[in-house]
Structure 1
Amino acid sequence: MKIHYLYRISDGSNPKDKLHIFTKLRCLVNFITEFNIDNLLVFADNCSINTIENIKALGIEPIITSLGNSGSFRYIIQYSIDCFKQEDFVYFVEDDYIHLPFAFKALQEGLGIADYVSLYDHPDKYINFSDHGPNPYVEDGGELTSVLFSGNYHWKRTNSTTMTFAASVKTITEDKEIWWYFTNKACPEDFFAFQILTKQKLRLLGRSKKELLRLFIMRRNVKKRRSLITPIPGFATHTEKKWLCPISHWHSFRSWAEIE
Structure 2
Amino acid sequence: METKINIIFRSCDVVNAVHNAPRPFDLDKKTLIKICFKSLHNAIKNYNYSITILGDNLSEEMKSFFKEFDVNLIEGIFGNDESIRQTIKIAEQFNDEEWVYFCEDDYLHRPETFQYIIDLIENRDSVFPASIKIKKLLRKREITLLSLKRFFKKPAIVIHPCDYPDRYKFQYLTKNFIFLSRFCHWRQVSDTTFTFLMQVKDVKRKKNILLKSSNSANDRYLSKNLYGTTFFFKKLLCVSPIPSLSTHMHIETMSPLFDWEKLKDKLLKEI
Band the TM-score falls in, shorter-chain normalisation: 0.7 to 0.9
Identity %: 24
Q: Paired residue for 1:35?
A: 44
Residue correspondence of structure 1 range 166-177 to structure 2 within 5 A: 166-177=197-208
Q: Tell me the equivalent position of 1:152.
A: 183
String of CA shifts for 1:42-71, please: whole Å, max 9, x gaps. 111111223212221345451112211121
**Equivalent position to 1:189, from 191, 203, 218:** 218
Asked if the contact 2:164/2:255 (under 8 Å) is kept, the reply is yes
Query: Aligned residue for 1:127?
Result: 169
CA distance, structure 1, for counterparts of residue 170 and residue 179 of structure 2:
23
**Aligned residue number for residue 8 of structure 1:** 10
What is the 5 A alignment of 1:27-66? 27-36=36-45, 38-66=49-77
Q: Distance between the aligned counterparts of 1:200 and 1:235, measured in 2?
A: 22
Structure 2, gaps ≥5 residues long: 125-155
Specify the structure having the higher radius of gyration (Cα): 2
Q: Is the 8 A contact 1:98 1:237 kept in 2?
A: yes
Kindly provide the CA deviation profile for residues 142-201 of structure 1, in whole angstroms up to 9, marking residues without a partner as x. Answer: 22101101222210111111111001001111111111121122xx11133112222448
CA shift digits 1:71-124 (9 cap, x unpaired): 11111111111x211111001110001001210111212334251001100122
Higher fraction of strand? 2
The match for 2:34 is 25
**For structure 1, which segment, 107-116 or 93-102, has the greater mean C-alpha deviation from structure 2 after superposition?**
107-116
Q: Which of 2-11 and 32-41 deviates more?
A: 32-41
Which sections of structure 1, spanning at least 5 residues, go unmatched?
130-137, 202-219
Separation of aligned partners in 1, 2:22 and 2:44: 26
Give the structure-1-normalised TM-score.
0.80
What is the one-letter code of the residue matched to 1:249?
D
* Number of residue pairs aligned between Structure 1 and Structure 2: 226
- 2:159 pairs, out of 106, 117, 129, with 117
Q: Distance in 2 between matches of 1:123 and 1:70?
A: 26
Query: TM-score, length-normalised on structure 2?
Result: 0.77
Q: Is the 8 A contact 1:115 1:171 kept in 2?
A: no
2:256 maps to amino acid = P
Cross-structure match for 1:93: 103
Q: For the Cα contact (< 8 Å) 1:55–1:61, is it kept in 2?
A: no
CA distance in 1, matches of 2:242, 2:21: 25
Secondary structure of the structure 2 residue equivalent to 1:104: helix
Q: What is the alpha-carbon distance in structure 1 between the residues aligned to residue 214 and residue 256 of structure 2?
A: 28
Residue number in structure 1 paired with 2:238: 228
CA distance in 1, matches of 2:34, 2:254: 19
Contact 1:110 1:229 in 2 (8 A): no
Higher deviation after alignment, 89-98 or 4-13: 4-13
- Runs of 4+ that moved beyond 6 A: none
| Distance in 1 separating the partners of 2:225 and 2:111 | 32
User: Is contact 1:111–1:167 with CA below 8 Å preserved after alignment?
Assistant: no
